[in-house]
Amino acid sequence: MFASRAARPALRCPIHSAPVSRRDLSRKVILAENKNYIPIRTNLKGSALLNTPALNKGAGFTREERAVFGLEGFLPYDVHSIEKQSWRAWNQLQKQPTTILKHAFLASLRDQNQVLFYRIMQDHLEELLGILYTPGAAEAVANYSSLFRRPIGCFISFPNQDGMRAQLESHLHDINRVADVAYHCNDTKEAIDLVVVTDSEAILGIGDQGVGGITISTSKSALYTLGAGINPNRILPVVLDVGTDNHALFADPLYMGWKRTRLRGKNYEQFVDRFITHCRELFPNAIIHFEDFGLNNAYKFLEKYKDKIPMFNDDIQGTGAVALAALLAAIKASGQKLEDQRIVIYGAGSAGMGIAAQVQDGLQLLSGLSRQEAARRFWCVDRNGLLLESQGNSLRHSQLEYARPDEEIKTWDLENPDIHQVNLMDVIRNVKPTVLIGTSTHTRAFNEEVVKEMAAHVDRPIIFPMSNPTALCEVDPADALEWTDGKAFVATGSPFNPVELNGTEYSIAQTNNALIYPALGLGAILARSKTISPSMLMAGVHALSDLSPALEDNAPGASLLPDLADVRNVSVSVAAAVVRQAVKDNNAQDPMTIKIVNGEAGHGLEDYIKSRMWDPVYRPLELVD
């Protein structure tokens, strides 16, 4: 605790029992175990300090801090550790009777005490992830205007677009006021590492939700911090309010967004382009994460910006990346090759086509196939059956290259040859796939007949029913394992309990994007990458697949993916792979990171990554003028 600049005692690290000098603290690289003893400098005192979530410690302020910052009389006498505070908050949370009330409790805690919010989330990540994000966030999004208490994030509305730059600058100044920028950067423009933006058109399971989509941006931002330790004070959640086609919102007198049908066409694209331009000027090193944009717009902006700026679309790239990591783990565990797979994707929407695109990239980068050769490994089935070239204009752009030639099915044994539609069972019977992925939200579509037909031709079928929530999953993992005598590799989109079968317990991998996208973002931020290239994404995928418990010796029934509870350690390995690839691609711009990767800095990359990860602990405060 530092009362003034005149008399500053040496900061002692309890782990090493050696003082941490001021010179050490000013260096770019700081030992991971020392980082949380670096003081945060602030001029806030009394109620202003208590009302600043990024700095507030509640009952955790020490006796000395209470004296220096004028907090006596604002707090009860006893000092409580963050462990005790987390225990109390957890008990309070358990008394909330519904998911939406638990979500509201967590949001309120975040608005009061940022560190405590992240601590309780980290301590109970698996239990609370579904409350903070899906499915809990969906209910909060749909009821955003009714539940509104305190604005969080940045609201950019089309009618106010002329003030867009000033609005973003205001958030930059606000972040600089409380963020610990002195440790991380030398320029206020470097104070934002990540922008998470949505236009709320295609929120998972509930569609267009207008301005309420800010809850998705804030929740996704929190997962970057929980998963990879990205400083929450350096993340800007944004909603682009371009109207809504949700008529229930128009009828709601409490709705807080712009009451107009959703903006489309040239005006919409120019509005988004303007936003990207201002972000690049104001936050030149920030990653821009696109979330829950409509399918056509999502692909359009991905194609437009992926080679120009460091951007990422989780709905397209994140789902595909984690699915590919699970697929690679299954292939490695069974001694197969990626290029030998026959892949059927049931559900050709954004998630399904995103998975196809990522696996296609893997076939090109890892197996050396051409783009056309890689596309021939897929059979994609939509609501109208197998995608065929003759469907022409009815196919979306993202589906076109996966459409099969009509000539191919002329010799097939079809269930209804007189109907110009090839159903899932037709595809399974004729293609004899090695991999079956579901993104259809068609409950129990992978029935016993489908699974047994697939298993009749494959020694170790790979079955990924990835639709969310659990009720919409294509097959229960217990059924898939029973129908294949335990031979199937199974990964799901929703969490499932382990399955007991013939004396073996099978852990079911959840293809949760949080296992990869936070680490991908962290790696790109530390490298200050010019773009997030396909090879960087693939490096992260490979690193995640290598951490699969299923690859360990004598591990029957082991999960294809690491446990989400271990996501912080997973993120260190994945981020390190991303950073190394960024340097290899000449995509990295951060001099320190480049030196570390090249072995010129005297620091290991993994240790450096740990030193830059934000932890939910109370750091000492230093009072300044």
Binding positions for (S)-malate: 468, 512
Distances (CA, A) of 270 to 91, 232, 267, 281: 48, 29, 5, 16
Closest CA to 439 of 466, 477, 399: 466
Residues contributing to the annotated binding site for a divalent metal cation: 291-292, 315
Cα angle, residue 316 at apex, residues 444 and 535 outer, rounded to 5°: 125
What's the rounded Cα separation, in Å, for the pair 13 and 21?
10
Catalytic residue, chosen from 37, 118, 133, 255, is: 133
Cα angle, residue 91 at apex, residues 89 and 95 outer, rounded to 5°: 110
Closest CA to 273 of 305, 317, 307: 305
Distant-in-sequence, close-in-space partners of 383: CB < 8 Å, separation ≥ 6: none
Distant-in-sequence, close-in-space partners of 464: CB < 8 Å, separation ≥ 6: 323, 326, 327, 435, 436, 437, 438, 490, 491, 492, 511
What's the rounded Cα separation, in Å, for the pair 235 and 70?
30
Distances (CA, A) of 105 to 55, 90, 149, 233: 19, 10, 12, 20
Distances (CA, A) of 104 to 109, 201, 280: 9, 23, 33
Any bridge partners for residue 344, and if so which?
Answer: 379, 436
What's the rounded Cα separation, in Å, for the pair 120 and 109?
10
The residue written with tokens 């994460």 in the block is 289
Catalytic residue, chosen from 220, 346, 608, 618, is: 220
- What is the CB neighbour count within 10 angstroms for residue 479? 17
Length of the chain as a residue count: 625
> What does 89-101 look like in DSSP terms, one character per residue?
HHHHHHT--SHHH
Q: What is the 3-state secondary structure (H, E, C) of 133-188?
A: CCCHHHHHHHCHHHHCCCCCCEEEEHHHHHHHHHHHHHHHHHHHHHCCHHHHCCCH
Catalytic residue status for 220? yes
Cα angle, residue 194 at apex, residues 188 and 199 outer, rounded to 5°: 120
- Relative orientation angle of helices 534-546 and 319-334, to the nearest 10 degrees: 50
Tell me the residue type at 277: T
| Residues 500 and 477 sit within 8 Å (Cβ to Cβ) | no
What's the rounded Cα separation, in Å, for the pair 313 and 52?
31
The tally of CA atoms less than 13 A away on the side-chain side of residue 95 is: 5
The pair of three-digit structure tokens given for residue 298, joined into one six-digit string? 């999502």
Catalytic residues: 133, 220
